[in-house]
Each structure stands twice: as structure tokens, then as C-alpha cells.
A = this chain, B = another copy of it.
Amino acid sequence: MASHNLARSCRKVVCIGRNYADHIKELNNVRPKKPFFFLKPSSSILTPDQGPVLRPKGTNLHYEVELALIMGHNLVDHPEADAQGAIDSIAGYAIAIDMTARNMQEEAKKKGIPWTAAKGFDTFLPISHYIPKSDIPDPHDVELWLTVNGEERQRDSTALMLFRIPRILSEISRVMKLEEGDIVLTGTPKGVGPVQVGDVMRAGVRVGQKELKEGDIEVG
């Protein structure tokens, strides 16, 4: 599946917040007792051929590399104990950058209002091509990485997730049904930071000793 098809078939993008301990520390956030999540609009998806990420005026724009799950069938009220069922509901994967207007998000947090605008600008979700499920035998054992202008900023294993995928999918599906084509972002490891106009981000995923070509993102 090309990623413009990903974009077309996606109705919602559900994103887990604070799922890596060292990332929680770097933003001085509180570690959640259970997973919490927010929505990015499908209109924020930026496929590989669509050009650069917008830099809205007055925003402090941060990258967050994440492993994305592409849902293969509906999931409703899924019990956490059925880990295999959760994994079976995934059709495939992608790498995504959860672009965030950090200053707007901090202001929203202080005011107790939604993060929607801070997370939802057009182009705020660069996504790679579709990664076939068979290319990632264990989604809790891949390495995510991101560079800015060739300098490494993020590189960590998905083994560090605080809440693993069956728990994440269970918690979401007990609130809102997950539908075929929906995208779930699983959280970002440490190393998030700002990008300026002209900076080039690259991101990807390594499985064992191998870089997965389909997971590559290069975006201005």
C-alpha cells in the first residue's frame, strides 16, 4: 500500500502520550498511571511526495518520531489479556513524525484546554510508506531513529514503551472502536526538539541489523 492510500483510508489517528520514561523526564511531565491518548486529524497526514512540513508563525515546532500501527480490522472493547488478538488486528506499520507546536501545547496544558490545534496543523503528520507486517516480526523490538540535518536526535528501541501495544489497543478500543485503516501512534522516545525553516528531518526504523527502506522519511 502506498502511503497516499494510507492517508485516504484513514479516518482517525489516535496518538498515545508519554509512553517512554526518558521522554517524560525531558519535558518535566508526570508519568501516567494508564495510557492516555489524543487525536490528530487525518488532514494532517503528509505523504512522502507532498513536500515540507509547515512552520506556522509563532510556533516552536518539535519533531517526535513514532512507530505507527495501521489497523487491519475493527477492534471494540478488546481485553488486554488477549495480546495475540490485539497484534492480529494490525495490518502493518509505518514510521511517523508527530509534529507538535510545543509552545501551543504547553499553553493548552496550563489552561486545561485541548491539544488539538498544537497537534493538528496540516502537514503535522509526515508518514513513511507502508511497512508490511512481516517485515516487523516483533513491534516491541525495533529501533526508531530521527536526524536533523544529518545529526542524530532520537534513537531508541520500542522495547522501552511503558505501555505495550496490546495494552494501548485495549485502552483505546474500550473508549472508541478502532476501524480498518485507522492509524495508532505509539509514543516517542527521548530526544525531541525544535526544527527551524530549512532544516531537513530524516527518520526510519531498524529491525535487527537491517534498515527498512519502506520506513524511511525525509522531509523539509
Contacts and interface: CB of A to CB of B under 8 A. Distances in A.
Contacts of A112: 108-110, 112
Interface residues of A, number: 33
Interface of A: 11-12, 14, 17, 30, 32, 36-39, 41-44, 56, 76, 108-117, 120-122, 175-177, 179
Contacts of A39: 39, 41, 114, 116, 120
A177 B109 contact: no
A30 B112 CA distance: 10
Nearest to A76: B122
Contacts of A111: 30
Contact of A176 (B11, B113, B122, B176): B122
Given A36-B117, A37-B117, 10 more contacts: A17-B113, A32-B113, A37-B114, A43-B176, A43-B179, A108-B112, A110-B112, A112-B112, A114-B114, A114-B116
Give the residue among A111, A113, A177 with the most B Cβ atoms within 10 A: A113
A59 to B, nearest CB: 11
Nearest to A38: B114
Given A36-B113, A121-B175, A176-B120, A41 B17 contact: no
A12 B42 contact: yes
Contacts of A36: 113-114, 116-117
26 contacts: A11-B41, A12-B43, A14-B41, A14-B116, A36-B113, A36-B114, A36-B116, A36-B117, A37-B114, A37-B116, A37-B117, A38-B116, A39-B39, A39-B114, A41-B176, A43-B176, A43-B177, A43-B179, A56-B175, A76-B122, A108-B112, A109-B113, A112-B112, A114-B114, A122-B176, A122-B177
